Structure 1
């Protein structure tokens, strides 16, 4: 039986690694979108931190929301727990405590990623060319780690917890990348409107490595309603929100005493299945995705209460540590 602390560390290791990759994807996507937008469009780097839910923390440490400051905040700033550097550092610390559970090469891979980010984060903040190279390298190294976990790790409970954390984080970030486009307000009388929207949604698909898949499965033409439908509902694509929820549900079913969580996930899947995207306005899309992120947050809270902090009697004695309680042994708080 796993200890609650070990289970929580596995879950967060997976989330931190996924978040580092997804933040890299979000930055690259925004860079590409900004290159294509006309100057009169009311959209900029500040939308990136707003969609990521980090604007309050950013303004606590920075006076001006310009490109360089936002890149520092999202890539290398250790004061931001969601910066790429922080995420990789936290994942490294969690991995260090889990060597008996993980493949032997896992520590080497994650430590190598940490050393790379530490060495190159500063240059990625100052040069767009360096940024593109560094962020792509982060994404590629993360892919190698996922391949190692999938191909070399026994698919038992620890593996399911890693997969669960990865898909919770992935669903949240897919919703945020979609939400990023709802913040773009193009001039309604612009003759370039249709062309710009196609380019914006093409960048969205590219940021999720989804462009070729979309063209093969959906259409050769990129239309906003079809992209939204694809990224919300298409079970064939691993980064769609519906696919992530399906993976989460499959993981949870293999965990002990999981019936309450199965109900939460099933309800969320039903909500998405009933949501129609045809003719949706940018405001309605933003509101819907905000609600989706809140519901995913409640899934995380339920996981934490049910497994990681499920102390017997509902309250942990003063000074107790998670490592003193076995995973899923006690009743939910």
Structure 2
């Protein structure tokens, strides 16, 4: 497989996952607007910009750090390469140039997704329509991923898609966890009795993992248990541990197929979450270290298979 084709498949998978998880990330805060009385919790939407390491780009574009500007930046801003509209455009462009290795139906779905985003992106800026818009992005992204999963032969093309999807998913899972921790850390004094259960419940629901958590953990929703579940549960497809295993499998298969590349080192930093851990500054520092380690995985992939001679 040509290096440029492999790289475009890798980035198509990353951008598709990024669009879906950006929608999930926004939904965490959006749901809290309805679940918590306004006078009980002052949500700093700018946390979402910090979590995406995009403060510099945001501050060049906007002077006010309010809900509308943050959501606009994450949904429709063309200057933000991680916005939903930018990510979907990138998916389409990367798959347009690799149509000979993907099913025709996948190309049709990409175009339908792109058309939907073009027509309805501004719905994401309005609270009344935002939930429907975000849900549609998530469901259409999952439909495309499902089509690729169910039809592609497990050759090099599939392995690069798998690499991109799981590297991006692991990274975004850490950011969604950080979103929950940030709300609690920045709002130490609540007038309500137990907001933590509500916040971590929304984190689980944003990942589609609420029922899986209840079945596996068999306890009420607690921050320490949620963090362990989304980080360490090897049977959960959106956990960091599961993604790490998938990355290792794909990298090993590609290394064996090429016969000349070194396997990617997939070891990630470990953090022991105590039973009563409040998931404060130490936990958030760990998530930052984890994101840096995932970024190093990306660099290894680029140096192994996409480096230009």
Smaller-chain TM-score bracket: over 0.9
Is 1:307 matched up with 2:297?
no
Match of 1:259 in 2: 262
TM-score normalised according to structure 2 size: 0.93
Is the Cα–Cα contact under 8 Å of residues 10 and 158 in structure 1 kept in the other structure?
yes
- Cα distance in 2, alignment partners of residues 191 and 64 from structure 1: 27
Match of 2:105 in 1: 105
- Cα distance in 2, alignment partners of residues 186 and 77 from structure 1: 27
- Cα distance in 1, alignment partners of residues 248 and 222 from structure 2: 30
Q: Secondary structure at the match of 1:155?
A: coil
- Cα distance in 2, alignment partners of residues 282 and 34 from structure 1: 22
Q: Deviations over 1:47-72 (max 9, x none)?
A: 11111111211111011111111111
Is 1:66 matched up with 2:69?
no
Match of 2:85 in 1: 85
- How many residues align? The count is 301
Question: Cα distance, 1:186 vs. partner?
Answer: 6.6
Task: Please say which of residues 29-38 and 112-121 is displaced more in the overlay.
Answer: 29-38
Is 1:277 matched up with 2:276?
no
Question: Cα distance, 1:187 vs. partner?
Answer: 5.8
Question: Cα distance, 1:166 vs. partner?
Answer: 0.2
Q: CA-atom RMSD, angstroms?
A: 1.6
Alignment of 1:193-208 (within 5 A): 193=193, 195-208=194-207
Is 1:162 matched up with 2:165?
no
Alignment of 1:130-149 (within 5 A): 130-149=129-148
Question: Cα distance, 1:128 vs. partner?
Answer: 1.3
| Unaligned residue ranges in structure 2 (runs of 5+) | none
Match of 2:96 in 1: 96
- Cα distance in 1, alignment partners of residues 106 and 254 from structure 2: 24
- Cα distance in 2, alignment partners of residues 157 and 113 from structure 1: 25
- Cα distance in 2, alignment partners of residues 186 and 49 from structure 1: 15
Alignment of 1:284-299 (within 5 A): 284-299=282-297
Is 1:247 matched up with 2:243?
no
Is 1:179 matched up with 2:178?
yes
- Cα distance in 1, alignment partners of residues 166 and 11 from structure 2: 12
Q: Deviations over 1:197-248 (max 9, x none)?
A: 0000000000000001000111241011100010110001000000000000
Distance 1:36 1:305, change over 3 A: same
Is the Cα–Cα contact under 8 Å of residues 41 and 190 in structure 2 kept in the other structure?
no
- Which structure has the larger Rg over C-alpha atoms? 1
| Unaligned residue ranges in structure 1 (runs of 5+) | 312-333
Match of 2:119 in 1: 119
Question: Cα distance, 1:77 vs. partner?
Answer: 1.0
Q: Deviations over 1:131-180 (max 9, x none)?
A: 11111111111111011101111111100110110000000000000111
Distance 1:99 1:188, change over 3 A: closer
Question: Cα distance, 1:39 vs. partner?
Answer: 3.4
Question: Cα distance, 1:76 vs. partner?
Answer: 0.9
Match of 1:47 in 2: 47
Question: Cα distance, 1:260 vs. partner?
Answer: 4.1
Question: Cα distance, 1:35 vs. partner?
Answer: 3.4
- Cα distance in 2, alignment partners of residues 187 and 78 from structure 1: 32
Question: Cα distance, 1:188 vs. partner?
Answer: 5.3
Is the Cα–Cα contact under 8 Å of residues 32 and 203 in structure 1 kept in the other structure?
yes
